[in-house]
Structure 1
Amino acid sequence: MNSQPSRHVLVTGANRGIGLEFTRQLLARGDRVVATAREPGRATALNTLAGEYPGHLHVLPLDITQPRAHAELLRELPLVLEDAYIDLLINNAGVLHSGERFGALDLDNLEHSFRTNAAGPYLLTQALAPQLADGARVVNMSSRIGAIGLTTRFGTPSYAISKAALNMATVLLAQALSVRDIVVVAVSPGWVRTDMGGEQAEVAPEDAVAGLLARVDDLSMADSGSFFDWQGEPIPW
């Protein structure tokens, strides 16, 4: 049974995969969730959840790559949160361009990956800082693929480079927000069975999210700026 008090949570990229599973589990434990998607009208599963949890789930549009969309979200939040602050921000929205090969990687993929996976979460957190409660937690969805110390082969370069950048953004945000006791961490959910991870992936989304939420519940300021997996094990940078 969840012993945590009800929180206000914002989850990006919540229309499917890990973001949708975060939303499901957060609602089931009594939290109030603002879930974002680029096209809310097409987020069928998310809108179904909104019907099941009236007043507890609000679905708002957000393109993580567009700062003007961040500003619009900031304007709308007080309306759906009734002037409450965000206790937990989960920067989950991300992109993986498959099929990249050395010698054929183009700037478009690199730019799009960086804007979505690194610049987007950083700038959104910066924009939402006034809306974050003192003592809030910010969880950046990274990947072991972004760990420089674990890299042993060439693969998914735009994804790897952008996730490594997200890890640095996490450490910088942890420093910037420490004066308000806001904990900022990077996490790796593992190879999860989602549209991005594929059917052969090792970890069920339910297990990955449950593990991450359990770890997030126990975070303290001593953990801010750290990088760990869904089982709570630290990951080298």
Structure 2
Amino acid sequence: MTGACFVIPRRLFEDLGGFDPHYAPAFYEEFDLAFRAQEKGFKVIYEPGSRVVHLGSMSYGAERRDQLSSINQSKFVERFAERLRKHPWDGGDEFMLRHAFDEGPALLVVEHFLPQPNRHAGDVTMTSYLSMFATAGWRVVFGALDGRADGPAAEALERQGIELIRAPRTIEGWIEMHGSHLSQVWLPRPEIAERSSARSARTAKPILRTTRTTCISFGWSVLRAFRGTLRCYPRPSI
């Protein structure tokens, strides 16, 4: 959370005592506030759809900003040393920073296009599967081979916590950086799973090279691979 733009209930802000003057005049007070809110059982949520124009360092200037940041970083680290020891040590690992430590295993799904459930039945099925995995506690990452991930369909998936790989990022690049975190890779179409096209082959190679995961394909494989996590509850009327 950054102090440049955040929303917090007024009652919670007042209960926490607002920004701690320990960090006056500025810098790290918003991180301190977020950590104290988490200690009371609240979650800090990032909204990827937000857009903010921030004129960085305009209040103090770069030199003064760096001085204050250095001083207050030491204060923050001293106060939350025990919690910080449990945080990822590699700040460059964006995947671990985006996900909580107690979340479930990671699943990568690779398709030709982002599913558009308002257009045809196959995409309704794919969207349902993605939602089912996310609800079951999986960290779901979806990559479309065409690199497009925008519009209402993309927003609906992101609201469920599903990460989308969109251009200019590539699936291959994502796998190279974060593939070691994957537990399963689902390649639902035969032509993707069998690497029959040049693009699909480029996508599959880094999966095999970078990860130690299992690649599955076809609809029936999903239920077989995830039967330990997902349960079907039949309706009496069916």
User: Quick check: TM above 0.5?
Assistant: no
**TM-score, normalization by structure 2:** 0.38
**TM-score, normalization by structure 1:** 0.38
Higher relative contact order (CA 8 A, sep 6+): 1
User: More strand per residue: 1 or 2?
Assistant: 1
